[in-house]
């Protein structure tokens, strides 16, 4: 079957039905996506489409359907952020310094997805080394928002969110260190989830800040998100940070009538919060209350320091993670200089972008023995405060309700200012610093067509609970 590529992706359910009834083959669906990617190159969502390999996989997948032995995710067409290794293909983390680097092995989640029968359509653009919140800090250029291309897609998993929103794939994988799945999902009007830290293997993810990095899915429906989580949440002996009890994950649909919500007073009073976004949160509160849920307002004045503490910790980890990019061992080199130190300095100066350089300098400063006690150690202590807050207020089925992003979009260059850009992570980093699960869902639109969203953050390992509540909210709003 040849599909008209203009078939609106709002007609997603229609496509889904065709696919499920097998009226539409996997290869038809793939060809549709490939045509659309070509038509929408202006979005800059993909940096490479694995046309030949994906076609091969789609044909194999169709054959398994014919032979009546489909796998759990048979035929699901998935895109990978350009920081997740896929054996035999280039992976650059959108950095010039990794141009030409071919992944020597598959990330564990890639292994799991392939075993489950997915088709990997391509790799998506992102902020360099996943550093950024807008999607404009990439060596491939900025990713535009499919809902309104005058605006950016949000970052750092910019291409993944834009690809799902524009109907260029079914599901995309991203990484979230401080909001990088949830924030672009929020700006592009799709659903994005950061699972509980330690439930999804980081093996084969190019590290930014190991203690907070987490891979997760971006999709149009909670069900799509959940099937992917069922496949990627798995204990992996390659990732030793998976210390929590991890026996896999099964999405169980439950009502969770005993859930209670909390809001943080200082978030509520944030002067930077967009008025449309503020109204969206209030509307959701009305719905929740009408369904009998309680919402408590809790004051946490120290929350004002959260972005600074996050920056200290993430930059500190980044400065040591990025030390290995010297342009000698792998990736690109400008081949200038005599002594190794000259070659390394020249490569790093020429090939690393502005944002990673900022993080390396800032992180090295914070970790220096003269400064450690004043900065890095304080940020570590602050992180304990955040964990205490979660322990105290989110146990016993409490969920933190917040916006995902203070603003609903930005144009290129608008948030260039150091602190302006970092303040975009105000609501998201709490889940990374504590390791809790967090999901962003679209709940409406502003006048300019840009989406509004809310974020649900749950207690450790309550991934199933926040997914169910996300579904309940989606069922109660009309988009």
Q: Nearer to ligand GLN by C-beta: 18 or 126?
A: 126
Q: Answer yes or no: 180 catalytic.
A: yes
| Six token digits for residue 245 | 């009890």
How many other C-beta atoms are found inside a 10 Å radius of the C-beta of residue 69? 10
Nearest distance from C-beta of residue 137 to ligand GLN, angstroms: 8
Q: Nearer to ligand GLN by C-beta: 17 or 418?
A: 418
State the Cα–Cα distance between residues 154 and 182, nearest whole angstrom: 9
| Residue 326 in contact with ligand GLN, rule: CB under 6 A | no
| Residue 133 in contact with ligand GLN, rule: CB under 6 A | yes
- The residue from 25, 40, 81, 359 that is catalytic is 81
Nearest distance from C-beta of residue 87 to ligand GLN, angstroms: 23
State the Cα–Cα distance between residues 234 and 144, nearest whole angstrom: 33
How many other C-beta atoms are found inside a 10 Å radius of the C-beta of residue 378? 16
| Residue 94 in contact with ligand GLN, rule: CB under 6 A | no
Q: Which stretch binds ligand GLN (CB under 6 A): 22-30, 87-95, 128-136, 450-458?
A: 128-136
Q: Nearer to ligand GLN by C-beta: 267 or 293?
A: 267
Q: Give yes or no for a contact between 347 and 324, defined as CB atoms under 8 angstroms apart.
A: no
State the Cα–Cα distance between residues 413 and 227, nearest whole angstrom: 37
Q: Nearer to ligand GLN by C-beta: 136 or 236?
A: 136
Nearest distance from C-beta of residue 346 to ligand GLN, angstroms: 26
Q: Which residue has the tokens 């030390």?
A: 323
Q: Residue 7's Cα: distance from chain center in Å?
A: 27
Query: Would you report the helix, strand and coil content of the chain in percent, each value rounded to 5?
Result: 40, 15, 45
Q: Answer yes or no: 156 catalytic.
A: yes
- What contacts 161, CB < 8 A, 6 or more positions away? 153, 154, 172, 174, 181, 184, 185, 187, 188, 190, 192, 218
User: Angle formed by the axes of helices 26-39 and 51-66, to 10°?
Assistant: 160
Of the candidates 213, 11, 211, 19, the residue with the CA atom closest to the CA atom of residue 107: 213
Q: Which stretch binds ligand GLN (CB under 6 A): 17-25, 125-133, 330-338, 464-472?
A: 125-133
State the Cα–Cα distance between residues 28 and 36, nearest whole angstrom: 12
- The residue from 95, 138, 175, 180 that is catalytic is 180
| Residue 306 in contact with ligand GLN, rule: CB under 6 A | no
Q: Which stretch binds ligand GLN (CB under 6 A): 46-54, 65-73, 124-132, 435-443?
A: 124-132
- The residue from 156, 158, 186, 319 that is catalytic is 156
Q: Answer yes or no: 405 catalytic.
A: no
3-class SS at 368? coil
| Six token digits for residue 138 | 């990439």
Residue from 96, 128, 425, 463 touching ligand GLN (CB under 6 A): that is 425
| Residue 131 in contact with ligand GLN, rule: CB under 6 A | yes
- What contacts 192, CB < 8 A, 6 or more positions away? 157, 161, 174, 176, 181, 182, 184, 185, 186, 216, 217, 218, 439, 440
Largest CA distance in the chain: 71
Of the candidates 159, 175, 165, 166, the residue with the CA atom closest to the CA atom of residue 48: 159
Q: Nearer to ligand GLN by C-beta: 178 or 458?
A: 178
| Residue 208 in contact with ligand GLN, rule: CB under 6 A | yes
Cross-strand bridge partners of residue 191 = 219
Q: Give yes or no for a contact between 264 and 303, defined as CB atoms under 8 angstroms apart.
A: yes
Q: Nearer to ligand GLN by C-beta: 184 or 189?
A: 184
Nearest distance from C-beta of residue 349 to ligand GLN, angstroms: 21
Site string for ligand GLN, 147-166 (x = CB under 6 A): ---------x----------
Nearest distance from C-beta of residue 439 to ligand GLN, angstroms: 15
- Which strands, in side-by-side order, build the sheet including 295-298? 46-49, 119-124, 77-81, 171-176, 214-219, 191-194, 438-445, 451-457, 398-402, 260-264, 295-298
Q: Which stretch binds ligand GLN (CB under 6 A): 72-80, 127-135, 299-307, 450-458?
A: 127-135
Nearest distance from C-beta of residue 128 to ligand GLN, angstroms: 10
Q: Which stretch binds ligand GLN (CB under 6 A): 54-62, 171-179, 335-343, 405-413?
A: 171-179
Residues 172 to 191: which contact ligand GLN by CB under 6 A?
176-180
Q: Nearer to ligand GLN by C-beta: 132 or 159?
A: 132
| Six token digits for residue 145 | 């928002």
| Residue 124 in contact with ligand GLN, rule: CB under 6 A | no
| Residue 132 in contact with ligand GLN, rule: CB under 6 A | yes
| Residue 31 in contact with ligand GLN, rule: CB under 6 A | no
Nearest distance from C-beta of residue 466 to ligand GLN, angstroms: 18
Q: Nearer to ligand GLN by C-beta: 132 or 331?
A: 132
Q: Nearer to ligand GLN by C-beta: 62 or 270?
A: 270
Nearest distance from C-beta of residue 373 to ligand GLN, angstroms: 23
| Residue 130 in contact with ligand GLN, rule: CB under 6 A | yes
Residues that bind ligand GLN (CB under 6 A): 130-133, 156, 176-180, 208, 314, 425
Residues with a known catalytic role: 81, 156, 180
């Amino acid at each position: 079957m040849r599909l008209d590529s203009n078939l609106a992706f709002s007609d997603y359910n229609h496509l889904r039905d065709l696919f499920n009834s097998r009226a539409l083959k996997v290869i038809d669906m793939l060809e549709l996506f490939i045509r659309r990617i070509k038509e929408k190159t202006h979005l800059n969502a993909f940096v490479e489409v694995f046309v030949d390999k994906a076609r091969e996989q789609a044909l194999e997948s169709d054959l398994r359907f014919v032979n009546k032995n489909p796998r759990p995710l048979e035929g699901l067409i998935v895109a990978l952020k350009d920081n997740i290794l896929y054996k035999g293909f280039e992976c650059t983390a959108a950095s010039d310094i990794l141009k030409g680097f071919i992944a020597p092995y598959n990330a564990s989640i890639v292994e799991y997805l392939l075993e489950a029968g997915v088709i990997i359509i391509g790799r998506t653009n992102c902020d360099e080394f996943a550093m950024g919140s807008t999607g404009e800090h990439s060596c491939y250029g900025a990713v535009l928002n499919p809902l309104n291309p005058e605006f950016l897609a949000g970052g750092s998993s910019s291409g993944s969110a834009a690809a799902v929103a524009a109907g260029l794939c079914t599901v995309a994988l991203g990484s979230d260190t401080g909001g990088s799945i949830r924030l672009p999902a929020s700006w592009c009007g799709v659903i994005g989830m950061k699972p509980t830290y330690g439930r999804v293997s980081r093996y084969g993810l190019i590290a930014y800040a190991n203690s907070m990095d987490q891979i997760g899915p971006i999709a149009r429906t909670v069900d799509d998100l959940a099937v992917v989580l069922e496949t990627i949440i798995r204990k992996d002996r390659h990732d030793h940070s998976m210390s929590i009890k991890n026996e896999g994950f099964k999405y169980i649909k439950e009502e969770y009538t005993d859930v209670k919500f909390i809001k943080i007073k200082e978030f509520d009073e944030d002067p930077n919060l967009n008025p449309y976004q503020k109204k969206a949160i209030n509307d959701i509160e009305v719905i929740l209350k009408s369904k009998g849920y309680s919402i408590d307002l809790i004051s946490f004045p120290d929350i004002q320091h959260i972005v600074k503490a996050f920056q200290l910790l993430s930059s500190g980890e980044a400065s040591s993670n990025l030390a290995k990019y010297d342009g000698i061992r792998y990736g690109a080199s400008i081949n200038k200089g005599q002594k190794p130190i000259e070659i390394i300095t020249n490569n790093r100066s020429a090939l690393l972008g502005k944002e990673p350089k900022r993080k390396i300098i800032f992180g090295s400063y914070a970790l220096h023995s003269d400064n450690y006690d004043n900065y890095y150690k304080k940020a570590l202590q602050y992180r304990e405060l955040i964990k205490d807050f979660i322990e105290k207020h989110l146990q016993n089925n409490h969920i933190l309700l917040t916006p995902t992003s203070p603003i609903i979009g930005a144009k290129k260059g608008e948030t260039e200012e150091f602190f302006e850009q970092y303040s975009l992570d105000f609501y998201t980093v709490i889940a990374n610093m504590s390791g809790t699960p967090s999901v962003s869902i679209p709940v409406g639109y502003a006048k300019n067509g840009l989406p509004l969203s809310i974020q649900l953050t749950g207690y450790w390992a309550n991934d199933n609970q926040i997914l169910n509540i996300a579904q309940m909210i989606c069922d109660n709003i009309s988009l």
